[in-house]
Amino acid sequence: MRLAGRVAHMTGGGSDGWEVYYKARARIAAGERILNLSIGEHDTPTDPAILGAMHDGALAGSTGYTVGAGKPALRDAIAARVEARTGVRTTRDNVIVTPGGQAALFAAHMVLLDAGDRALYCDPYYATYPGTIRATGAIAVAVPTRPEQGFQPQPQAIRDASPGARTLLVNTPNNPTGVLYDRATLQGIADAVQETDLWLISDEVYDTQIWDGEHLSPRALPGMADRTVVLGSLSKSHAMTGSRLGWMIAPEPVIAAAIDLATNTTYGTPGFIQDAALFALAQGPAFEDRIAAPFRRRRELIAPALAGSNRIGIVPSGGGMFVMLDIRPTGLTGEAFALRLLDEEGIAVMPGESFGAAAAGHVRVAMTIPDDAFSEALRRLAAFAERL
């Protein structure tokens, strides 16, 4: 008996670049002290009040099927939040609730792409992007960004990759680089996708974690509301990664197609989790700022910890829970650096190559451990680099 080749095609075969993470987890499980800066998971759990709302919803009977776009009250709340933050008219008919941001990412590509279409995404990229595209039967095409241009996507690179393409996926603030796309970059992206008649899929799950500048949704730019799909989630904004509550904002025909897809895949999102999401959104910006505060604080610890290093460069982080470090002066690849750092210092970071060729010679650092341990890890990382 044979398996279908679909999943092998989706993953692309070969190494997925996450060996450092798996090795670190194994050593942690064996009882070793590993300073784990490899994954974007909050070091504080979901707020008890949110869990209480989830519990209350379940006890109140919100445990049945939820097939469809989601509870109307939650869709209304998401629409109001998006409209307030972007200024773009948004109603419940523009919203579908999904089991996490990844499900929204998959749904967006499924309803916009046919097998054989080309689908663009920016390199460096979040790890699941190319696999999600390939899962639709489309051809995943990376649009490289360059360190010397601050990893900001260039319009001409989009135009060059656009023949035969239907979609472009962008992510700001960006995982893995921490780069916030500025207004000029987003306007250039908007111009390019309108000129080449592309759908723009905008992953904005880090939109509450902004350190420098301001977050601008490309959906708010002139002419973009009818060709932009926005992906959102409570995972990062409310420390609800395991609750799996996300959404997609799109023109009504896209949402209608996504509802049909959900009927034949996820069958909706649990009602008691939707109840908790509605409660979480009602806590307002002050709550979201509190969840973001540790990452803002730890970002300020990076430069002092690495001061004086001639072998570590810092890619300016405008948002999110990650910072990218340029280790090219050490002469090592990101992967070689990360593996030696784990073996010799017990510090886990992700190789830039795990996120695409454009990030080669870099490592991604997650700001997701307590402040003292984070500063210790950075100081030891810098000392390690100087010894190489």
Question: What pTM was computed for the model?
Answer: 0.96
Average pLDDT over residues 37-58: 96
Cα–Cα distance for residue pair 140/116, rounded to 1 Å = 10
* Dihedral sign for Cα atoms in the order 314, 300, 320, 376: positive
Calpha distance 205→190 (Å, rounded): 19
Same domain, 253 and 349: no
| Half-sphere exposure at residue 69, Cβ-oriented, CA atoms within 13 angstroms | 24
Q: Is the pLDDT of residue 206 over 80?
A: yes
- Are 242 and 252 in contact by the 8 Å Cβ rule? The answer is no
What is residue 14's predicted lDDT score, i.e. its pLDDT? 61
Q: Are residues 125 and 181 in the same domain?
A: yes
pLDDT digits (tens, 9 = 90+) for 61-77: 999 999 999 999 999 99
Answer whether residue 16 shows pLDDT above 70: no
The bridge status of strand 313-315 relative to strand 199-203 is unpaired
Distance between CA 23 and CA 341 in Å, rounded? 12
**Residue whose C-alpha is closest to residue 105's, from 210, 211, 250, 214:** 250
Quote the CA–CA distance of 377 and 203 in Å, as a whole number: 30
- How many other CB atoms sit within 10 Å of the CB of residue 62? 18
- What would the mean pLDDT of 257-276 be, rounded to a whole number? 97
Same domain, 152 and 245: yes
Among candidates 274, 279, 281, which has minimal Cα distance to 71? 274
> Quick one: average pLDDT of 311-319?
96
pLDDT at 15: 62
Which residues constitute the domain of residue 369?
6-45+288-387
Q: What is the pLDDT of residues 137-180, one digit of tens each?
A: 999 999 999 999 999 999 999 999 999 999 999 999 999 999 99
Does residue 50 carry a pLDDT above 90? yes
Given this model, what pLDDT does residue 130 score? 96
pLDDT confidence of residue 6: 87
- Say if 1 falls within a structural domain: no
Residues 332 and 201 in one domain: no
Instruction: Provide the pLDDT for residue 298.
Output: 98
Domain match, 264 and 304 both: no
The answer to whether 345 and 380 are in contact (CB under 8 A) is yes
Model confidence at 194: pLDDT above 80: yes
pLDDT at 258 over 90: yes
Residues 260 and 319 in one domain: no
CATH code, domain carrying 304: 3.90.1150.10
Confidence check: pLDDT of 370 > 90:
yes
Q: With a cut of 90, say whether residue 289 has pLDDT above it.
A: yes
Residues 226 and 308 in one domain: no
Alpha carbon of 74 to those of 62, 173, 221, 281, 306: distances in Å?
13, 25, 26, 9, 44
Among 234, 268, 285, residue at a domain's last position: 285
Determine phi and psi for 202, rounding to 5 degrees. -110, 110
CA angle 68, 74, 80 (to 5 degrees): 120
Mean pLDDT estimate for the chain: 96
Question: Which percentage of the chain shows pLDDT scores above 70?
Answer: 99
Q: How many domains does the chain have?
A: 2
Residue 169 is assigned to a structural domain of this protein: yes
Scanning the chain, the segments in alpha helix (DSSP H) are 6-11, 19-29, 48-59, 72-86, 101-112, 129-135, 155-161, 183-195, 252-263, 271-282, 284-306, 334-345, 371-387
pLDDT for 387 beyond 70: yes
Judged against a pLDDT cut of 90, whether residue 295 lies above it is answered with yes
